[in-house]
Chain A
Amino acid sequence: MADRFSRNLGAALRRDPLGAVLLALVGALVLLCLLAPVVTRTDPTATDFARMLMPPSTGNWLGTDDFGRDVFARLLFGGRTSLAVAAVAVVIVMGIGVVVGIAAGYFGGVVDLVLGKLIDVLLAFPRLVLAIAVAALMGGGITSLIVAISAVAWPAYARILRAFTLQVANEGYVQAARTLGTPVWRILGGHVALNLIGPILVLAMLDLGNLILAISALSFLGLGVAPPAPEWGAMLNEGRALMEIAPWMVVAPGMAIFLVVLSANYFADIARDSTEGRAVHGPRDWIAWRRPRAAPAPPLPAAATAPLLAFEGVTVDVVDPRSPYCGRRILHGVGLSVGPRECVGLIGESGSGKSTLAMLAMGLTRPPLALTGGTVRLSGRDTAAWRWDDWRRVRGCHVGLVNQDPLSALNPVLTIGEQIGEAMAAHDAVPPDARPARLREVVDEVGLPASVVGRYPHELSGGMRQRVVIAMAIVNRPALLIADEPTTALDVSTQRRILDLIRDLGQHYGLGVLFVSHDLRVIARVADRVVILREGRVVETGATAAVFAVPREAYTRALMAAIPGQHRQPQVAEV
C-alpha cells in the first residue's frame, strides 16, 4: 500500500507538471516560514511610524503596513502560526471525525444513536458562534484557538465519514473479515479506514482553507493570536481597510493563503488517485467531439437492404499511453453482421472482447480503448465520422441496449413510468401526445402489469427490473437490440422467461438482436447464428444448431464440455 502510493504519486507528479510546480511553491513557502529568523533579520513586530504604508522596495520587499512593520517579515513569521495552527487543527478535526464517523457507521445501534444526536446538536449551532463561545470560555491564546476551531469543525466530517463507512461496511471483504474472525479493531483499521483514505484526504485538504480563515476570524475578534503578533488571517483583516492605498498589505497574505489552499486541494486529488490501484481514466476527449464534422448527420434509413449492424475487420487497441496495457490489441479484425429478424449469439469468455464489440455498436468505446481499424456500419452507414451527437440520436432510437445488471441500469428515484418516458423524450420517434399510450403498450409488450408504471425499481424483482430495461430499450421501436449478458444476474426460471421474451420480441417486431453471453445454453435458446470469439478473434461461426451438433474447433468443444451438469458426483453410500 505505502509502496504503491509513493510509486503512483511519483508517477502522477511526473505526468502532471502543474502539480509538481504547486507542490514546489508550497514547499518553498513552508521552508521560508520555518527559516524566517534566518531569512529576514527584521522584527515582524517592530513599528516604525516614519516608514508607514511604504510600497514594496529593495528594503521592504513586500512594503510596510500602517505601523511601518515589514510585510515580508510578518508574512513569514505569520505563516509559522497560521500553518502550524491549521495543520494541528486539521489533524485533530479529521482524527475525531474519523473515529466518531467510523464508530457510528460500523457499530450502528446505540453507538450511532448517541453519536448521531451529539453531532446533530453541535451542527445546530452556527459554527463561528460556537467557536467564539469555546474560545472565550478558555481565554485567548493559540491552544484555545485550536481547541475552539477543532471542536466545531469535526461534526460535519464525522457525519460524512459515517455515510462512507456504512457503504464500506457492507462490502464483501468486511463481511468476509467478520466471518474470518478478524478482531474488530483490525477490521476498522485495515479494511474500513484504509478504504476511506480517499475521502479523508480530500476532506482534510478542502478544509485547510476554511480553517485558516476561521483562525483569522477568531484572531480578528481578539480570541486567537493577539496583535501585534503576525498571522495571515489577521494580516488580511488589518489590510482590508487600507486596500485602496496599500494593496500589498492584502495581496501578500491573500496570495499565500490562496497558494496553500489551491495546492492542498490539487495535491489531495493527485494523492487520492494515487491510493487507487487502477489507473483513473478521465472522460474521453471533449475537444475531439467539437471537431468539424467530416460527414453529414446520419439519420438512418428506416428500411434498408443492408444488414442492421455490420463489423468489417474491426480492430480495437488500448491506446492510452498511461495504461499499463497500452498497445495491447483487444479485437483483431473481427467481422460480424446482424440482419433484420435475426438473433446472433456472440459467445466468449471474460477478456475475449465480446463486450467491447457490443459497446462499439453503440458508439460507446471509451478510453483507454479506441477503434484503430475496420468499419462499423449501422444500416449500411459507415459510422467512422459520427460524433457524439450523431451517436446520441442513434442510441435508444435505432439501437437499444439491455445489459447485465438491471438494478444499476435503473435510476432508483424515478418511477418505472418516468424512466420509460425519459427514453421516449430523448428522441422524436414517438410524438409527445402518443407517449402515454405507447408507455402502456410497451409495458404490456414486455409482459408487465400496468400497475408497474407508478412503482420504483426497488419494489420490483430482478426479473421485472430486467423487463423494464427491455421496455426502455424497445420503446422507440429500434431496429437493433444489443443484449449484453442480460440474464447472467437472474435465476434459472427468470432467465428462461427473459430469454423467451427477447426471442419473441425479435420475431414479432422484426428486431435484429446481437446477444452476448458466455453461456452456451443461453445462446442456444435464443440465437439463430452463433459467433464464437476468443482473445479478440472469431474462431467459429455458423447456424446455432450446426455449430453445436458438429463443432469444428477444439475451443468450441472445450466450451461445450465445460457446461456443468454433464457429470455426476458419485453418491456416498451412507450420509
Chain B
Amino acid sequence: MLSVEGLSKRYHGHDAVRDVSFRVAPGEIVGLVGASGSGKSTIARCILGLERPDAGRVRYGDADLVTREGRRGARRAIQVVFQDPRSSLNPRWTVRRILSEPLETWVGREAAAARTARLHALLGQVTLSTDLLARYPHELSTGQCQRLCVARALACGPSLLVLDEPLSALDVSVQARMLAMLRALHAAGGPSYLLITHDFAVVREICHRVLVLDSGRIVETGPVAQVLDRPSHAVTRALLLDALPLPFQTTPAAEPLSDHPVPNLHDATAGAPSP
C-alpha cells in the first residue's frame, strides 16, 4: 500500500533521513521508533507531502507522492494526527466547524441533518460526546482534543493514519484510553497506522511490526515480539535498556487485549479545562 524507497532528506547540510525504505501493508500497524532527532518526523512529513524528499520515492498504491498530482490523488487516503493536539486545532473554530472542514472538501454540501448525523458518527468513533459540537478547543481537555484530531483525520475516510507521537502530550491514564480507542478503531476495520514514537511500551501494546531508526537510518526491523524481545542491533538494545521499567511486578500479560479493562479514571465526556 504505502511504499517508501531510498528516501533521503537533508536539512542545513546534515542528513535527517538517509536511504530509508519500508512498506506499510493494508490493515497493518507499524511502529517507527527512534530517539529525538533520528528522523522520525521528517519521514512522516515526506509521506504527508509537507516536505519534499531530496531523493527516493514515496508511493501510495500507484500514486507517486513526491509529485503534486500524485499527492492530490492520495491526499484523502493518508491522514495525520500530530503530537500536540492543542496547536493542531484552530482556536477560533468550534468542534463542529473543525470536524466539518474535511467533510466540506471531500463530501461537499449536504443537508444539515445528514451533516449532523455524520458528525455524530465521527464523534462516536472516537468516543466523544456529541454535546461537544458547539465547544471551542480550549474548553476541551487535552485528551479530548487528541480524540478530536483523530476524528478529523477519520472524516476523510483514510486508509493510512500517520500518528506522530500521538500520546506524548497526554497523561498516562489518558494514554491508556487513547490506545484502547485506537485499537478498537483498528479492530473495527479502521485504517492502517504508522505510529511514530520513542516509547517501546506503546509499540508493544499496539504495533504488529516495528522499524528502529537511528541518525536517519533504519537499523532494525521486524515483528514486535522479535525486535523487542530479541533485539539484534545495539541501538535497539540501548533504547530498550533506557526505557523505564514498570515500578512493580506484573503477571505476564497473556490475556487477550479486548478483555483488558481500561481504567476509566474520570468520565470520558466530562471536560477538565484548565481555568
Q: Which residues of A contact B (CB under 8 A)?
A: 1, 4, 171-173, 175-183, 186, 190-191, 194-195, 197, 275-278, 318, 323-325, 328, 330, 349-351, 368-369, 461-463, 488, 490-496, 499, 518-525, 544, 548-549, 555, 558-572, 575
CA distance A181 to B158 in the complex (A): 12
| B141 in contact with A173 (CB, 8 Å) | no
CA distance A177 to B172 in the complex (A): 28
CA distance A277 to B86 in the complex (A): 13
Q: Which residues of B contact A499 (CB under 8 A)?
A: 244
CB closest chain-A residue, reference B136: A277
CB closest chain-B residue, reference A191: B90
**Does B25 interact with chain A (Cβ within 8 Å)?**
yes
Q: Which of B106, B223, B239 contacts A571, CB < 8 Å?
A: B223
CB distance from B91 to the nearest CB of A (A): 6
Q: Which of B18-66 contact A (CB under 8 A)?
A: 25, 27-29, 35-37, 48-50
CA distance A257 to B28 in the complex (A): 68
Known: A562-B265, A566-B253, A568-B205. Is A492-B247 also a contact (CB below 8 A)? no
Q: Which residues of A contact B29 (CB under 8 A)?
A: 569
CB closest chain-A residue, reference B45: A175
Given contacts A368-B275, A495-B242, A564-B201, 9 further A-B contacts (CB under 8 A): A173-B89, A180-B152, A181-B76, A194-B93, A323-B275, A561-B263, A564-B172, A565-B204, A568-B224
| A1 in contact with B242 (CB, 8 Å) | no
> Is chain B's interface secondary structure helix, strand, loop, or mixed overall?
loop
Q: Which residues of B contact A461 (CB under 8 A)?
A: 36-37
CB closest chain-B residue, reference A318: B275
CA distance A434 to B262 in the complex (A): 56
| B275 in contact with A563 (CB, 8 Å) | no
Q: Which of B187-202 contact A (CB under 8 A)?
A: 198-202
| B75 in contact with A349 (CB, 8 Å) | no
CB distance from B86 to the nearest CB of A (A): 8
Identify 17 residue pairs between A and B in the complex whose beta-carbon atoms are under 8 Å apart, listed by A's number. A1-B94, A180-B153, A182-B104, A190-B90, A191-B90, A194-B92, A350-B174, A350-B272, A461-B36, A518-B171, A524-B247, A525-B247, A559-B173, A560-B248, A561-B176, A564-B179, A568-B204
CA distance A462 to B198 in the complex (A): 14
| A171 in contact with B87 (CB, 8 Å) | yes
Q: Which residues of B contact A277 (CB under 8 A)?
A: 91-92, 136-139
| A521 in contact with B244 (CB, 8 Å) | yes
CA distance A565 to B33 in the complex (A): 15
CA distance A538 to B128 in the complex (A): 29
Known: A172-B88, A520-B172. Is A559-B25 also a contact (CB below 8 A)? no
| A1 in contact with B199 (CB, 8 Å) | no
Q: Which residues of B contact A520 (CB under 8 A)?
A: 172, 247
Q: Which residues of A contact B153 (CB under 8 A)?
A: 180
Q: Which of B86-129 contact A (CB under 8 A)?
A: 87-94, 101-102, 104-106
**Does B79 interact with chain A (Cβ within 8 Å)?**
yes
Q: Which residues of B contact A490 (CB under 8 A)?
A: 36
**Does B149 interact with chain A (Cβ within 8 Å)?**
yes
CA distance A183 to B48 in the complex (A): 16
| B260 in contact with A567 (CB, 8 Å) | yes
Q: Which residues of B contact A571 (CB under 8 A)?
A: 208, 223-225
Q: Which of A172, A275, A349, A524 contacts B92, CB < 8 Å?
A: A275
Q: Which of A175, A324, A492, A559 contacts B200, CB < 8 Å?
A: A492
Q: Which residues of B contact A561 (CB under 8 A)?
A: 176, 261, 263
**Does B212 interact with chain A (Cβ within 8 Å)?**
no
Known: A171-B87, A349-B173, A494-B36. Is A177-B202 also a contact (CB below 8 A)? no
CA distance A499 to B242 in the complex (A): 11
Mask: chain B, 245-275; 1 = CB below 8 Å from A; 0 = not: 1111010010111001111011000001011
| B88 in contact with A176 (CB, 8 Å) | yes
Which 5 A-B pairs rank lowest in CB-CB distance, beginning with the nearest?
A565-B201, A524-B247, A172-B88, A558-B263, A562-B176
**Does B209 interact with chain A (Cβ within 8 Å)?**
yes
| B244 in contact with A496 (CB, 8 Å) | yes
CB closest chain-A residue, reference B72: A181
CA distance A275 to B35 in the complex (A): 40
| B243 in contact with A562 (CB, 8 Å) | no
Identify which of B49, B143, B198 gathers the most chain A CB atoms within 10 Å of its CB.
B198
| B173 in contact with A558 (CB, 8 Å) | yes
CB distance from A527 to the nearest CB of B (A): 10
**Interface footprint category on B:** 35 or more
| B138 in contact with A278 (CB, 8 Å) | yes
| A491 in contact with B80 (CB, 8 Å) | no
| B152 in contact with A176 (CB, 8 Å) | yes
| A182 in contact with B101 (CB, 8 Å) | yes
CA distance A524 to B213 in the complex (A): 28
CA distance A465 to B269 in the complex (A): 38
Q: Which residues of B contact A564 (CB under 8 A)?
A: 167, 172, 175-176, 179, 199, 201-202, 204-205
| B105 in contact with A492 (CB, 8 Å) | no
Mask: chain B, 199-242; 1 = CB below 8 Å from A; 0 = not: 11110111111000000000000011100000000000011001
CB distance from A564 to the nearest CB of B (A): 4
**Does B17 interact with chain A (Cβ within 8 Å)?**
no
CB distance from B167 to the nearest CB of A (A): 8
| A522 in contact with B263 (CB, 8 Å) | no
CB distance from A321 to the nearest CB of B (A): 13
Q: Which residues of A contact B79 (CB under 8 A)?
A: 179-180
| B90 in contact with A570 (CB, 8 Å) | no
Q: Which of A171, A494, A555, A572 contacts B265, CB < 8 Å?
A: A555
Q: Which residues of B contact A195 (CB under 8 A)?
A: 90-92
Known: A190-B90, A349-B174, A569-B206. Is A563-B141 also a contact (CB below 8 A)? no
Q: Which residues of B contact A179 (CB under 8 A)?
A: 48-50, 75, 78-80
Known: A330-B275, A559-B173. Is A176-B82 also a contact (CB below 8 A)? yes
Q: Which residues of A contact B76 (CB under 8 A)?
A: 181
CB distance from A406 to the nearest CB of B (A): 12
Q: Which of A1, A463, A519, A521 contacts B93, CB < 8 Å?
A: A1
CA distance A4 to B93 in the complex (A): 10
CA distance A313 to B208 in the complex (A): 49
CA distance A182 to B106 in the complex (A): 9
**Does B142 interact with chain A (Cβ within 8 Å)?**
yes
Q: Which residues of A contact B35 (CB under 8 A)?
A: 491-494
**Does B2 interact with chain A (Cβ within 8 Å)?**
no
| B257 in contact with A568 (CB, 8 Å) | yes
Q: Which residues of A contact B223 (CB under 8 A)?
A: 571, 575
Q: Which residues of A contact B149 (CB under 8 A)?
A: 176
CA distance A171 to B91 in the complex (A): 11
CB closest chain-A residue, reference B29: A569
Known: A494-B35, A564-B205, A569-B205. Is A181-B75 also a contact (CB below 8 A)? yes
CB distance from B159 to the nearest CB of A (A): 14
| A181 in contact with B156 (CB, 8 Å) | yes
CA distance A570 to B186 in the complex (A): 13
Q: Which residues of A contact B177 (CB under 8 A)?
A: 562
**Does B84 interact with chain A (Cβ within 8 Å)?**
yes
